[in-house]
């Protein structure tokens, strides 16, 4: 009888230990970050020496959480020129599109660079704003996003331009608030002194 109880106890302990096997395997797998580009908005400054690009991405950390410190973007154009910028938050973001002015109406909580941790296996969608020196109104070859952790770990998502179908990118009109020319001039004078 004691031998049977010992055998049943051993089998139950073995089953319990085996149930932890997937978790133990994940500990040894490297962190991965995967993503999908949802939207891309490009605008040049008035003197055309700076390009502002706003991306909306859906990203996911696989195998383990990722403690996000910064996000960088590198764009390579068709001539091999590389442009780099770090994600930033703007107090006010205004685009000029076909002579009309639009203010970005997105809260700080919707900005990916304001997230401290990407939870494991949980998709997060949000915006990233980059200011690049130079006129990037050209054909892109690829766009690389570098996600840097607080410990210095860097993970990349690379989008080759040939894989991005512009008709599949989403233009979300709800994030833009049209401004009257007077409103734009007031904002412009206030923040460009």
Q: What is the pLDDT of residue 92?
A: 81
Residue 27 within any structural domain of the chain: no
Residue 88 lies in a domain: yes
Q: Is residue 133 part of a domain?
A: yes
Q: Which domain holds residue 125?
A: 32-191
| Structural domain count, the chain | 1
What are the pLDDT digits (tens) for 34-84? Answer: 999 999 988 887 777 888 999 999 999 999 999 999 999 999 998 999 999
Residues of the chain with pLDDT > 70: what percent?
89
In a domain, 168, yes or no: yes
Q: Which pLDDT band holds residue 22 (cuts at 50, 70, 90)?
A: low
15 is a domain residue: no
- SS3 string of the chain? CHHHHHHHHHHHHHHHHHHCHHHHHHHHCCCEEEEEEEEEEEEECCCCCEEEEEEEEEEEEECCCEEEEEEEEEEEECCCCEEEEECECCCCCEEEECCEEEEECCCHHHEHHHCCEECECCCEEEEEEEEEECCCCCCEEEEEEEEEECCCCEEEEEEEHHHCCHHHCCCCHHHEEEECHHHHHHHHHHHCC
| 23 occurs within a structural domain | no
Confidence of residue 119 (pLDDT cuts 50, 70, 90): very high
């Amino acid at each position: 009888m004691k031998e049977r109880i010992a055998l049943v106890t051993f089998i139950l302990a073995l089953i319990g230990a085996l149930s932890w096997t997937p978790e133990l395997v994940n500990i040894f797998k490297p962190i991965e970050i995967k993503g999908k580009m949802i939207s891309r908005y490009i605008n040049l400054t008035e003197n055309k020496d700076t390009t502002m690009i706003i991306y909306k991405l859906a990203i996911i950390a696989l195998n383990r959480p990722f403690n996000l410190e910064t996000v960088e973007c590198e764009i390579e154009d068709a001539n091999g020129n590389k442009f780099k910028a770090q994600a930033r938050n703007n107090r006010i973001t205004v685009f000029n599109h076909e002579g009309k002015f639009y203010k970005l109406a997105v809260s700080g909580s919707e900005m990916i660079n304001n997230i401290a941790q990407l939870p494991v296996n949980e998709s997060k969608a949000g915006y990233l704003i980059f200011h690049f020196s130079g006129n990037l109104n050209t054909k892109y070859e690829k766009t690389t996003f570098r996600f840097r952790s607080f410990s210095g770990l860097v993970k990349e998502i690379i989008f080759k331009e040939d894989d991005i179908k512009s008709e599949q990118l989403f233009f979300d009109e709800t994030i833009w608030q049209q401004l009257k020319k007077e409103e734009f001039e007031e904002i412009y004078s206030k923040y460009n002194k």
